[in-house]
Amino acid sequence: MLIQSGLLRKIDYTLLVTVYLIILIGLVVIFSATKPMDMNTVTGDAAFLANSFDELKKQLLWIALGSVFMVTIVINLYYEDLLKHTRLLYVANLIMLASVIFFGHSEMGAQRWISILGFAFQPSEFSKLLIIICFASFLAKRKKKLDTLYDLLPCFAYIMVPVLLILAQPDLGSALVFLAVMIGMLFTAGANPKTLIMVIVAGLGSATLWIWLHIWLAANRGVNLWIPLKEYQLNRLIIFLDPWKDPTGDGYHIIQSLIAIGQGGLFGRGLLQGSQTHGDFLPIQESDFIFSVVGEEFGFIGAFVLLSLYLIVIYRGILITVNAKDDFGTLLSAGVVSMLTFHVFVNVGMTTGIMPVTGIPLPMVSYGGSNMLTNLMALGLLLSINVRRRKMFL
Cβ–Cβ < 8 Å for 55, 287: no
* pLDDT, position 105: 63
What's the structural domain count of the chain? 1
Rounded to the nearest angstrom, the gap between the alpha carbon of residue 124 and the centroid of all alpha carbons in its chain is: 10
Q: What string of pLDDT tens digits covers the 394 residues of the chain?
A: 444 456 677 789 999 999 999 999 999 999 988 876 554 444 444 444 554 577 888 899 999 999 999 998 888 888 888 998 999 999 999 999 988 887 766 665 555 667 666 667 788 899 999 999 999 999 998 877 888 899 999 999 999 999 999 988 778 888 999 999 999 999 999 999 999 999 999 999 998 899 889 888 888 888 888 887 777 778 877 887 788 888 878 888 889 999 999 999 999 998 888 888 887 787 788 888 999 999 999 999 999 999 999 999 999 999 999 999 899 999 999 999 999 999 999 999 999 988 888 889 999 999 988 899 999 999 999 999 998 875 444 4
74: nearest Cα among 342, 320, 309: 320
Cβ–Cβ < 8 Å for 313, 17: no
In a domain, 207, yes or no: no
* pLDDT, position 286: 86
The residue range of the domain holding 367 is 7-191+230-387
174: nearest Cα among 225, 123, 216, 224: 123
Q: How far apart are the first and last CA of the chain?
A: 24
* pLDDT, position 306: 97
The C-alpha atoms of residue 330 and residue 130 are separated, in whole angstroms, by 16
The C-alpha atoms of residue 42 and residue 44 are separated, in whole angstroms, by 5
The C-alpha atoms of residue 253 and residue 282 are separated, in whole angstroms, by 7
Find residue 113's DSSP bridge partners.
Answer: 105
In a domain, 298, yes or no: yes
In a domain, 318, yes or no: yes
Cβ–Cβ < 8 Å for 220, 227: no
* pLDDT, position 393: 43
In a domain, 196, yes or no: no
The C-alpha atoms of residue 134 and residue 158 are separated, in whole angstroms, by 9
* CB count in 10 Å sphere of residue 180: 18
The C-alpha atoms of residue 88 and residue 222 are separated, in whole angstroms, by 46
The C-alpha atoms of residue 287 and residue 135 are separated, in whole angstroms, by 28
Q: Which helix (H) or strand (E) holds 132?
A: helix 123-140
In a domain, 205, yes or no: no
* pLDDT, position 171: 82
Q: Is residue 353 classed as helix, strand or coil in its secondary structure?
A: coil
Cβ–Cβ < 8 Å for 162, 156: no
The C-alpha atoms of residue 334 and residue 6 are separated, in whole angstroms, by 25
The C-alpha atoms of residue 206 and residue 229 are separated, in whole angstroms, by 15
In a domain, 275, yes or no: yes
In a domain, 53, yes or no: yes
> pTM surpassing 0.75?
yes
* pLDDT, position 47: 47
In a domain, 163, yes or no: yes
**Got the DSSP string for 168-212?**
TTT-HHHHHHHHHHHHHHHHHTT--HHHHHHHHHHHHHHHHHHHH
Q: Is residue 124 classed as helix, strand or coil in its secondary structure?
A: helix
**Got the DSSP string for 206-270?**
HHHHHHHHHHHHHHHT------SS-HHHHHHHHHTT-GGGSTTTTTHHHHHHHHHHHHHTTT-S-
